[in-house]
Every structure is written in C-alpha cells, then in structure tokens.
Structure 1
C-alpha cells in the first residue's frame, strides 16, 4: 500500500490523504524490523500515555502553527483563535462554532457521529472489498457481551476513522437513551489503513469504550470509540442513562488518530447507497459529523 486514497463525498472525486508520519507507519506495519518494534514498544500503553502527556504541556503549543499549516486546518470554524490554546491537546480537542457542522434535520435520518473517513458494510458482509481477503469481524471479541452479539448478528457496520487533521469530538447519531460507557482494555495499534487492511483484529485488540444507544426510531446502536497509537485518552462528556439528541456531544479523543465504530441492528436502517458503493470499490468516503449516513427503514 503506497498511499491512502479515499472518495470525496461532495464531488465523488478520488483524493490522496495527507498522512503525518506516513513513512514511519509503512515501516512499522510492513517491514520485518518495524513489526518487531511495533510488538515490543509501539502498541503498548506506556508509550501512548507518555506522548499524550507531552501534548498536555504548555510548551507543546509550539507545534500548533506548523500542524495547522501542513494539514490545511480551517481555524475559521473553531470557537477560539490559534494562539488561545494552553497546550496541543487543548487545541486538538477544539470546539467548533455553532452551525459549523449542520445536523441533518430529517427525523428519520441517522448521522455520522464524527468527522473522518467512513466504511459501510451492510449485514457485516463484503469486508473483503477493503480488508485483506479472509478476515471476519469478530463480534464476540469486539463486544465482550454474548447478549449484544446475538442482538447485532447480521447487522450493519460503520467504521469512521478520524485522522489527526479531523475535528476530534464525537457526537450522537440519533435521538435516544444512552447506556453507561464500558471500558474494554487493550493495546494501542494504529487505526490507519496501513495497519488495519491486513489486521482487522486491531478493532477488538485495542482499548475501546462501548455504549448502547437505544433510539426512538432506528432500534439499538452500539457506539464504540477505539483508541490508537499516541491517543492519550478517550473522554466521555455526556451523562449516562439519560435522553440525548442527535448531534449532541458524546465526548472527545485526545491527541492521535482514532475510530468510532457503529453497529446497527439488522434491517433497522437503510445505509446511503454512495457509502456502500464506495466501500464495495475498496474506498473510504469522507464524511463530516452531522451528515446523513442512512434512513430508518419503513
């Protein structure tokens, strides 16, 4: 895999992603020596916690201007100017101005919980279109709950990958009542396509936070925030066991690229055709928080 390409949802054009540390990721996941370093050090909690801690230091603000310039981040969307942050992590979890991410108003729509690149699999089939052939999504290992495994067997899988350039707060995809968030401990592998294309198990090997959203119209949904290399922490800002609204903030990731995974019950939601088509062609699709990903069936 020489570089990452994705489909721009607005234009339909194929784009090349700007990836910080791209050569390092390629070496770690596709070089024999790199794989040894990955297993010995990089996947471990201590490294990610150490680096995440550095991003909380006041001196880390020096990284912000270059990061903004290199990744073409639109600071006009942010509530605060670039020189108003107290650390790199403070900047990384920046809030956006009201209206910067319009929430689809159709009461029957389900929206993306985050900015990023999305893969959509109906019936959790067709994984071979993006991931290396022969891999299966292991619901038992991912959910760690036999009742949930039975409930979501044959359901719809959405994988929304956040790159460092993206807005790193995540939100609710529909109205409903949210459960407590269960932390499942694990490793800290990268969630970049360089890492996951031939190692789907990253999603159930990495540390993650899992909650269930029982919606008013779209059945139950599993919402799972997955940690990754250099992700300092996953922070939940909502109150569990309360009613929440579509587009309401759920939490944020500190420094690093991360992933939000959604599992929908079988037959409850009709996923938008462009997302399914692009996935079948082997491409992620760019998406913004609040954009529609599907409509309630019936």
Structure 2
C-alpha cells in the first residue's frame, strides 16, 4: 500500500497502482525477480510493449484505463475517440485551464503531475532513493564536474504514475541546452521497486539537460525511463528561449520520474513538501502549481 499526502485536501490518500499485483510478484518473489533480471528489465521487453501501445490494436485499452482509474475526460484537449492508439491517449494534451501556471517570477512551479519529495542542502554522494538506499549524482549523470556544481543544493524527485498526465514542462523562462542520453535498464520506478533495487535511478535509461533559468540559476533536468516506457520524447528546441510552462517533452506508456537539481541558495521549497518528505510521504502535485520560492 502506497500512501501520499494530498496538498489540496490536506489528507493522506492511498494510491491505486496500475498493475499492483504484477509489481508485487515481480519485485518480491524469487521467480518474479528471476524474470525481472532475464527479461523485464531489458530494452526488448519495453520496446515490444511500447510497440503494441503505438498500434491501433491498443485502442481497446483506453476506455478500461479511464474507467478503472477514474480519469476525468473533461480535462482532455481531444475527445477520447480521436486517439489513434493507447500511447496517443497516454501522452494526451490537457486543456490549458485545468493546469493553471503561476507566472510570478519569484514562484517555483512543478514541471509536471505526480508525487513529489524534496531535499535541501544535499550531499551529492549520498542522495536518498528510499530509506536505507542511496545513490550519487555523479553516477546518475556520469559527469563529475557538472555534479559538483550542486553540492549543498536542492533535489526534487517527481514520480509520475501511469495514471498521471505525462507531459513535462519548463519551470521558468530561460534556455535549455542539448539533451544527453544514458543507456540503461527498464526497472519500474514505483516505490515497490525502489525499495528492492539499489541505485535504481542510476541503473535505468535516463536523459539529462542543463536549463539556464532566468530566476533559479542552472537547473539540472533528469528524465528517467521505466518498465514499458518505450521512449522519452523531448519536444523542445535546444538553445532557443522558452517561457515558463512551455512543454519540454513527454513519456510514452509507463511510470516515469523527473529529478531536478538546483544550485545552493537558489530556491526554498514549500514547507509542507519538506515536512512530508521527512515523514516518509510523497506530496501529490500538478503541473504549474507552486512548490517553492526564489531565494
């Protein structure tokens, strides 16, 4: 059972996990773990399933998914009948008014929908994955010089469940450099998997880019793939100025994670997010909502 804190209702809720029985079996049973290492974590498995989700046959999954997870169709920019395949629905655009953006230059917004934890004054060699398991920023991005720029900074981890809106956005005005791709495996990023696989984020396929933000310094964006995520699609144009809230990219089917790093003394994360992180809970957030302030 995964509980998270809903910032709007000020209450704790239980997450309805897509494929929860499959996840428990895969990451908890000896046979499941064997299949995980032999097949499920491999690129081929995710590529094949991603190919199915790109096909017309996968349209049959859309209605069931909407009903099972109570997804609000009124938020869709297009009617569900217009989606050509499951991935078309999964990476759906939403109406602008359902994700309002705070354009105050002093306000830090969430780059996407999901469940968030945050850490201040970080030790880049001892970043917390879950209690008892850590990883290093150098291993995550395989760039020691860049990693050292974030000593004592702030780290935000945004976990996107399969039921979430899967496009991610820029948190400020600025210019983003090219994306660097790092090959890896395709473990799930669900908390069930995070508790079982050491340095999971450093094991999975991931991409990072340096965003020169007008108000929050040089922000390191890291997009982490997961099981069945056939692709991480970057839709922005490198070295071209972007506006706060502009789309950066999207994930195809599967749970995914965005990790952000801020340099020291650039941002102050909202107290409720920090408090819930200390207490071991993620906070549910939506793209565009306030999560911190400029220092």
TM-score by length of 2: 0.96
Assess if the C-alpha contact under 8 Å between 2:208 and 2:221 holds in 1.
yes
Partner of 1:132 in structure 2?
Answer: 131
The answer to whether residue 139 in structure 2 is matched with residue 106 in structure 1 is no
Match of 1:87 among 82, 85, 88: 85
TM alignment of 1:3-152, pairs within 5 A: 3-124=1-122, 131-133=130-132, 135-152=133-150
TM alignment of 1:137-286, pairs within 5 A: 137-286=135-284
Alpha carbons of structure 1 residues 294 and 22: separation in structure 2 relative to 1, 3 Å: same
Deviations 1:38-70 (A, max 9, x none): 111110000000000000111111111010000
Assess if the C-alpha contact under 8 Å between 2:127 and 2:136 holds in 1.
no
SS in 1 for 2:223: strand
Q: CA deviation at 1:35?
A: 1.2
Q: Tell me the distance in 2 between the aligned counterparts of 1:199 and 1:296.
A: 35
Q: CA RMSD in A?
A: 1.4
Q: Which consecutive unaligned segments of at least 5 residues does structure 1 have?
A: none
Q: CA deviation at 1:122?
A: 1.0
Q: Tell me the distance in 1 between the aligned counterparts of 2:215 and 2:64.
A: 44
Assess if the C-alpha contact under 8 Å between 1:89 and 1:254 holds in 2.
yes
Q: Tell me the distance in 1 between the aligned counterparts of 2:76 and 2:119.
A: 32
Q: CA deviation at 1:100?
A: 1.5
The answer to whether residue 288 in structure 2 is matched with residue 290 in structure 1 is yes
SS in 1 for 2:130: coil
Assess if the C-alpha contact under 8 Å between 1:180 and 1:241 holds in 2.
yes
Deviations 1:129-187 (A, max 9, x none): x7132x33311111111221110122211110111110110001111110001111100
Q: CA deviation at 1:200?
A: 5.0
Q: CA deviation at 1:102?
A: 0.6
Q: Tell me the distance in 1 between the aligned counterparts of 2:135 and 2:268.
A: 20
Q: Tell me the distance in 1 between the aligned counterparts of 2:4 and 2:96.
A: 28
Q: Tell me the distance in 1 between the aligned counterparts of 2:67 and 2:177.
A: 39
| Paired residue total | 293
Q: Tell me the distance in 2 between the aligned counterparts of 1:60 and 1:35.
A: 27
Q: Tell me the distance in 1 between the aligned counterparts of 2:263 and 2:83.
A: 41
Q: Tell me the distance in 1 between the aligned counterparts of 2:57 and 2:40.
A: 24
SS in 1 for 2:93: coil
